[in-house]
Amino acid sequence: MNTGTLLRALANGVNPDTGELLRPASAACAPEAIRLLFALANEFDGESELQEKARLTPEEKRQKNRTEGRPANAYFPWSEEEKLRLRESHAAGATLEALSDEFERSTWSITVQLQKMGLTGEEQAAAYR
């Protein structure tokens, strides 16, 4: 039995080990204790959700992005190698759409990165908002 379930059982007035009802005089049956137990149970449940989300590997995150209709590398940081390749491809005259396909990122992400690198201006970025 996980901690959240245990706390929720106590908040409902049930002994988690035996399944028997707690005595009304029990400290766990006081209204303030019940509210506290439910709040703690919710906190523990929230932590387990965060841990599950954190367990995705980078490849699983890419697959999730594709499934949800986003480019595979959406929300991933740019590596130095990618920045160098982006600079070279941009200098060779590649279009934003071609760069988007090559790097598996949105045209907006490409535009913002080019702007950060000083290769495009704000007016060009504004066209892709």
Domain locations along the chain = 3-54, 60-126
Between 17 and 101, whose confidence is greater? 101
> How far apart (Å, rounded) are the C-alpha atoms in residues 129 and 41?
42
> How far apart (Å, rounded) are the C-alpha atoms in residues 54 and 113?
26
The pTM of the full predicted model, rounded to 2 decimals, is 0.56
Q: How many CB atoms lie within 10 A of CB 15?
A: 14
Q: How many CB atoms lie within 10 A of CB 78?
A: 16
Question: Where are the strands (E) in the chain, listed by range?
Answer: none
Residue 64 near residue 56 (C-beta atoms within 8 A): yes
Instruction: List the beta bridge partners of residue 21.
Output: 14
> How far apart (Å, rounded) are the C-alpha atoms in residues 33 and 16?
16
Segment among 19-28, 41-50, 53-62, 82-91 with least mean pLDDT: 41-50
pLDDT greater than 80 at residue 51: no
pLDDT greater than 80 at residue 47: no
Express each pLDDT in 70-101 by its tens digit.
999 999 999 999 999 999 999 999 999 999 99
> How far apart (Å, rounded) are the C-alpha atoms in residues 78 and 38?
42
Triad 64, 87, 124: Cα angle to 5°: 80
